[in-house]
Chain A
Amino acid sequence: MSEILIQIDGKEVKAKEGMTLLEAAQSAGTKIPTLCYHEKLAPYGGCRLCLVELESRGWTRLVASCVYPVEKNLVVRTRSEKIDRIRKMLLEQLLAHAPDSLELQEMAKEYGADRNRFEKETSFCIHCGLCVRYCAEVKKKNAVGFVNRGIRKEISFIPDIAARECWDCKECFPLCPTEALQAAFVLVKALTFP
C-alpha cells in the first residue's frame, strides 16, 4: 500500500491509502470527537461530531472525517471556531434526549455546550446505531434494528431473534453512549410484549 502525505493541524502525517481521515488523525495521536464510530464497525457518518475542515485546491469545506478517504496533500483542521460552534450545537441537541449521559457531558464541557438549551425529550437513544450495527456486523444476528424514520426513528429488538440470542450476549449494552439501561429496557419490552 502506498503512503499518502497529509497535513493535520499543521502536522505532517503519513497515512496509508484506503484510510479515513479519522484513522489517519488517530494514528498521529490527534483526537477527534466521535459518537457513532467504532473500530470494529464500518464507518457510518451519522453523528457528524467528527467533522473537520478540509482545504484543498484553494477552498475550504466541512467533511465527516470517519468516512472521508485520505487523499494526497490534503490540509485538515480538526478544530476551528466554526467546527466548535457546530459541535456545540450538535451536543446540545443530543443532550435534550440524553441529558445524563456521561460521555455527552464530558464532550459538552469541552465545547461549552449547554445541556438545558433545548426542551428535554428524554428518549435516551441518540440513534448512533452502535448496537444495531454491532449486532449485524460483528455478531451477524440482526436481533436489534431501527424502525421508522426521521424523528420517529427508534431501536427495536426483534422478539423471536432476541429471545434466542440476547440473554447470553448483551455485548451491545456497554456500547451505548447514553445509558446502557435503555437498551435493556427496549429488549425487555420486546420480550415481554412481542
Chain B
Amino acid sequence: MARLESPEELGKFRKKILSKRDPNTPCISICAGTGCIASGAGEVIAAFKAEIEKQGLKADVNTKETGCPGFCERGPVVVIYPEEICYLQVKPQDVPEIVSTTIKEKKIVERLVYADPSTGDKAIHESEIPFYKNQKRNLLGSNIKIDPKDIDDYLAQDGYSALAKVLFKMSSKDVLDEVKKSNLRGRGGGGFPTGRKWEESCNAPDEIKYVIVNADEGDPGAFMDRALLEGNPHSILEGLIIGAYAVGAHEGFIYVRQEYPLAVENVGIAIRQAEEYGLLGKNILGSAFDFNVMVHQGAGAFVCGESSALMTALEGKAGEPRPKYIHTAVKGVWDRPSVLNNVETWANVPLIINKGADWFTQFGNERSKGTKIFSLVGKINNTGLVEVPMGIILRDIIFKIGGGIPGGKKFKAVQTGGPSGGCIPEEMLNLEVGYDELTKAGSMMGSGGMIVMDEDNCMVDVARYFLDFLTDESCGKCLPCREGIRQMLKVLTNITKGKGKEGDIELLEELSEVAGEASLCALGKSAPNPVLSTIRYFRDEYEAHIKEKRCPALSCKDLIAYYIDPAKCEACMICLKKCPAEAIDGGKGKIHIIDQEKCTKCGTCIEVCPPRFRSVRKMSGEPVPPPIPEEARKIVRESKQR
C-alpha cells in the first residue's frame, strides 16, 4: 500500500474501499471482544467460516470479527447485515441454521432473537432491543461495524476525515476553540475541561510537548476503555493525533495496562497500519506535521491510572504520584508539558471535529455534555457496556437499559466511580448523571464503573471490600492514604465481624477527613468516599452491626446463622448430604439440626433445601433457638400410619 500523500488521496482511497463493498452483500458481524470471546465467540467465528465454505457461499457472504457492542450479558452477539438482524447467545451448533435460514432463505431464527424476559416480546433488530434502544451510542455504535484489525473498515466509516480536516482546514487555535466550545470534560473521572487542559499545554513555553492516552483502566468491574481500545483503536489514535496537532506535540504515548492483551495487540496493529498509510509518522497526509506514538504497557498498579503516577511510570520509575501544584499539562513527563486524557475522551475528539461542538452539546445537561459509557455490572439483568447521554437519570440506566434486578430482588444501591466512588441509595435514583451531580451526592463519575447492589448486599461490607482493594493499591508514599486506609479497613473489618464499638462511626469519619484533606493524590483523597457515602445513606446498617451485632442484609458471615425450622423440615436428607462441613445431624424421618459449632456458613443448605419445604433460614442479631429434644425429632407421616 502506498502512503496517502494528501487529503484528496485519502478521499479517493476511501471511495475505492466503498466501491468494492456492495452494501447488499450479506455480512455476518460477530463480536470478538474479550467478553464474547470468553463466552465462546472464537468457536462461533470458526463455525461460521466452516459453514459458509461448506454451503459454497464464500464468494457471496462476508464475515467480520468486530469490537464489543456492549451487550455482554447475551454474548456471543452476532449481527447480520444489511438487515441488522441481531442474534444473541449464539452457539456453534446454531451456525448451520443461521446460514441456511437467514443468509439463504432470508428468514429469522426466532429462538436466537431478543425476547423480553417479562413480556416475551421479541426484537429482531439491534435498534429495537430495549437495552440498545434507550442508549445514545455515539462512540460504541461503530464497534459492531468495524474489524479493529483492518484500517480500511475505519476508513469506510469516514475514519481519519477529522484528521484531514484539522490538518488542512483548521489552525491549532481553531481546534482548541472547537474543543473548548464543546465543553468536553475528562472521561477518566476528574471531569477537567479538555479544551482548557490543551490550551494550558499549548501556551506552555517548552518546545517539546507530549500527548498521552490513559488506558490504565483499573476499577474493579469497569471495561469501557478496553472495549474502545479493542474495538475501535483508530478512533483513539485519530483523536490523539488531532490533540497533538492542537498543542504542538510530536510524540505521544499510549499507556495501556498489560492485562489487556487484545487491546495491546489491536492498538499495535492500528499504529502499524496508520504508519503504512501515512496517517502517522513523518509528514502526515503531506501536511508537514510529524507525529509518532509509542505503546507503553503498565505493570499492574492501579495507582498508575492517576496522571502523575502514570507519568512517573512512563519515565521508567516506580509508579508513584507526585505533587501537581503545577499542572502536568505544563510540567509532566520529564518535566515537559504533557496532555494526558482518558481513552474515551480522545475517542470523542474526531466526532467533535467532524460534527461540530454544537452537535456535541445537544447531548447532556447543563454542565456535563456529550455521552458517557458506563459498565453496568453487579445485580443487574443486562450486564454490559451502556452509552448514555449525560443527564440521564440513574433509574433509566438501571431499569430501562439494565432491565432491573434479577430474581425479583429489591434494588438497594448503585456504586459509581470505581473503588473510590460512593454508593447512591434508592431514594436518589432520579439523580441526573453528571460530574457535579454525582460528586454532590457523595460519589463521583469516575471512569464509568456502575455496580448495582440489591437487598442481599451489606453496605458495611461493600465499604470494607473497596477499602480492602485500596489497601493493596495505595502506593504507600504518603502517610494519610497508606495509614488512613489501613486504619479504616481495620475498623470496618471489626464491624463486619461483630467487634464494632461505640464511636467507630465517628472514628471512621475522622480518619476520612484526614485522608481526604491531607493525601497527596486523588486515590487517597477519594478513598474515604465508599465509607462516607455508606455512612451517609446507610447509617442504620452500621448501627445494627455495632449495637445489635446484626447484619440486616444477612450477609456478614460472622453475624449470621443458618437454622432449620423443625416445623418445616421434612427430613429429606438433601442438605445433610450436601453440607461440606458435615454440620447437619439427622436421618430418614428424623428432623435435621445444624450444629452451629461446625457450621461454616457456606449457605449450601439454604440453596439445596427444596422450595416446597423452605425450611432453612438465615438469621442475624437473635439467638439461634436451641435444638428440639431428641424424642420430638421423629417425623410421623400420616400416609404411613394409615
* A interface list, Cβ under 8 A from B: 44-49, 51, 62-64, 67-69, 82, 85-86, 89-90, 93-94, 96, 118-119, 126-127, 129, 146, 148-153
Contact = CB atoms under 8 A, between A and B. Distances in A.
**Range class of the B interface residue count:** 20 to 34
28 contacts: A46-B477, A46-B479, A46-B520, A48-B478, A51-B517, A68-B323, A86-B517, A89-B510, A90-B514, A93-B483, A93-B484, A93-B487, A94-B479, A126-B479, A127-B479, A148-B476, A149-B301, A149-B473, A149-B474, A149-B475, A149-B476, A150-B473, A150-B482, A151-B471, A151-B474, A151-B482, A152-B476, A153-B476
B497 interface: no
A18 to B, nearest CB: 12
A48 B476 CA distance: 13
B323 A48 contact: no
A146 B318 contact: yes
Nearest to B486: A151
B511 interface: yes
B499 interface: no
B519 interface: yes
A118 B487 CA distance: 8
Interface string B320-355: 001101100000000000000000000000000000
Contacts of B477: 44, 46, 127, 129
A68 B324 CA distance: 9
B35 interface: no
In this complex, which of A69, A93, A129, A146 has the most chain B Cβ atoms within 10 angstroms of its Cβ?
Answer: A93
Closest 6 A-B residue pairs measured CB to CB?
A153-B476, A93-B483, A150-B474, A67-B323, A89-B514, A48-B518
Contacts of A127: 476-477, 479, 482
B472 interface: yes
B490 interface: yes
Contacts of A69: 325-326
Contact of B479 (A63, A67, A93): A93
A44 B318 CA distance: 14
B186 interface: no
B195 interface: no
Interface string B484-495: 111100100000
A149 B485 CA distance: 13
Contact of B475 (A64, A126, A150): A150
Interface in B279-326: 301, 303, 318, 322-323, 325-326
Contacts of A148: 476
A94 B326 CA distance: 29
B476 A86 contact: no
Contacts of B486: 151
Nearest to A36: B479
Nearest to B518: A48
A48 B325 contact: no
Given A89-B511, A90-B479, A93-B479, A48 B473 contact: no
Given A69-B326, A149-B475, A48 B510 contact: no
Contacts of A129: 477
B480 interface: yes
Contacts of A94: 479, 483
